[in-house]
Amino acid sequence: MRGIPRYTAATRQVAADAPRARRAGLLDRALVVCFMLLLYGLFGSSDGSARSQAIWIVSYVITGYGLWGERRRVRAKLAGAAPVVALVALLLFSPAWSEFHDISLKRALELVGTSASAYLLVCRLELEEFLLSLCCAAGAAALLSLFAVVAAPAKGVMHEEYAGAWMGIFVHKNSLGQAMAMGAITALALALTADFPRSLRLWLAAAAGVCCLLLLGSQSATSVVMFGLMAAALALFALRRFPLGRRVAPFAATGVGLGLVLIALNFSAVVSALGRDAKLSGRTDIWPLVIEAIEKRPLLGYGYDTFWLPDGSAAAYLPVLLDWTPFHAHNGLLELALDAGLTGVCLFLVALVLAIRRTSALASRGRELFEVWPFIAVLYFILGNITEANIAKFNGMNWVLFTIAFLYASERESATAPVARSERRERRGSPIPAYVAPHRALRREPE
């Protein structure tokens, strides 16, 4: 296939000496599904009760035990994800300048446990195994949510605010919408993977359909837009796999880019057309107040996840005229600036740039369509942080997915790097390293 470099055969040979994840067994997959459902809040894990804290402590203990068994692979992954590690480390030290030292320390330790869980999943599962487990968790959450909507509408449907919108087993319609958007796009990417058995692909297509049904029922305009953009990205990378598509894809990408620019320039009109407030239900009202607070402590912020506490610093910046009580800044970068200042924001932006570069490279050269998923997960994370705050949040699904996408893409890049370097040396006439030379003929698949 001309124009898209393929390193498949040589990459597998070069990566053979590296420590690899073993094939996941049934117990591994069951634990992953349970952990994903835990992140969804299915087991009452988001209510802050003693029971939920006990559940999370057990999950952290299991994570620590698993990482000890995978310590050889973890060391390599820590080196490949330095910006993410540095950001988590900065937040771990943030209790030193926080007004609430004990609360910041407790939540920072939970963030370490949450991030460590992402490392364990990447160590134990290959990408396709993780995505299948994610689909199982999303499918289970979708079926339980559909049951709650039909059989227990008092709990599965919102009544006062956003009356009639579905929330299923989640605490809010937007939470249901975002979870179903990710579940639908993941199932769709796997269903379009030709190497999977036909029966499995049919089940995945059915799961995608159920997730889309709940996505529409949630009436979450943000989640619908997110799903549309992720589906467009999946379609663009799918087009590149066909001769005609490779010619059309650049024009389609340009069209999508121009469309996004037009949406940004006419944001108020687009939001009004979707039946939503141009101020995003009052979220933008607090942004100037948050920026004012950041200017007071710009370097390191106020400490991890304490600014919005009842007795925290937020009280000094929220005017009486604000007729609702926010629990976060409703923007990922602004919230991170409150937690760790511009230092934390810079570390995250470095990680984000690396994530975009690595995941887009994996999506372009990958053999299977599901290898587009890390790029889609990064896109999902970016879109989700425009009006929500999910960057480096403990016990948060979005942060786990971003970290996992970053790690999978970094792992594939480290495997293909020796082969890519050998090609550059060959073009310059330099000698090929001995460990690559025997596989020179296998570097590219036949066109």
Assess if residue 99 is contained within a domain: yes
Burial (CB count <10 Å: 0-12, 13-18, 19+), residue 2: exposed
Burial (CB count <10 Å: 0-12, 13-18, 19+), residue 180: buried
Instruction: Give the pLDDT score at 275.
Output: 59
Instruction: Give the pLDDT score at 270.
Output: 61
Three-state secondary structure call for residue 307: coil
Instruction: Give the pLDDT score at 48.
Output: 66
Mean pLDDT of 176-188: 92
Three-state secondary structure call for residue 281: coil
| Interval 284-317: pLDDT, tens | 778 888 888 899 999 999 999 988 888 777 767 6
Q: What percent of the chain is predicted at pLDDT more than 90?
A: 31
Q: What is the DSSP letter of 166?
A: B
Query: Tokens 């190497």 belong to which residue?
Result: 195
| Interval 107-150: pLDDT, tens | 999 999 999 999 988 888 889 889 999 999 999 999 999 999 99
d(CA 427, CA 220) in angstroms, rounded, equals: 52
3 state SS for 365-416: HCCCHHHHHHHHHHHHHHHHHHHCCCCCCCCCHHHHHHHHHHHHHHHHHHHH
Over its C-alpha atoms, the chain yields an Rg (Å, rounded) of 23
395 vs 195: which has the higher pLDDT: 395
Structure tokens at 186: 């993941």
Give the structural domain span for 16.
Answer: 8-442
Instruction: Give the pLDDT score at 70.
Output: 81
Between helix 397-428 and helix 71-80 the angle, nearest 10°, is: 80
Cβ-contact 174, 161 below 8 angstroms: no
Assess if residue 63 is contained within a domain: yes
Assess if residue 249 is contained within a domain: yes
Instruction: Give the pLDDT score at 445.
Output: 41
Assess if residue 47 is contained within a domain: yes
Instruction: Give the pLDDT score at 388.
Output: 85
| Interval 242-282: pLDDT, tens | 665 556 656 566 666 666 666 655 555 665 665 555 555 55
| Interval 11-69: pLDDT, tens | 444 344 444 445 556 777 777 888 888 887 776 556 667 777 888 888 888 888 888 88
Please provide the distance, in angstroms rounded to a whole number, between the alpha carbons at the two ends of the chain: 4
Assess if residue 174 is contained within a domain: yes
Structure tokens at 175: 């939470």
Instruction: Give the pLDDT score at 271.
Output: 58
Total domain count, the chain: 1
Instruction: Give the pLDDT score at 279.
Output: 54
d(CA 243, CA 245) in angstroms, rounded, equals: 5
| Interval 381-417: pLDDT, tens | 998 888 888 999 988 889 999 999 999 988 876 665 5
| Interval 216-237: pLDDT, tens | 999 888 888 889 889 988 888 8
pLDDT at residue 194 tops 80:
no
Q: For the chain, how are helix, strand and coil distributed in percent, rounded to 5? A: 70, 0, 30
Cβ-contact 294, 335 below 8 angstroms: no
Instruction: Give the pLDDT score at 222.
Output: 83
Assess if residue 335 is contained within a domain: yes
pLDDT at residue 357 tops 60:
yes
pLDDT at residue 363 tops 70:
yes
Instruction: Give the pLDDT score at 428.
Output: 45
Assess if residue 64 is contained within a domain: yes
pTM for this predicted structure: 0.82
Query: Tokens 């057990």 belong to which residue?
Result: 58
Assess if residue 447 is contained within a domain: no
Of 103-112, 119-128, 374-383, 435-444, least confident by mean pLDDT is 435-444
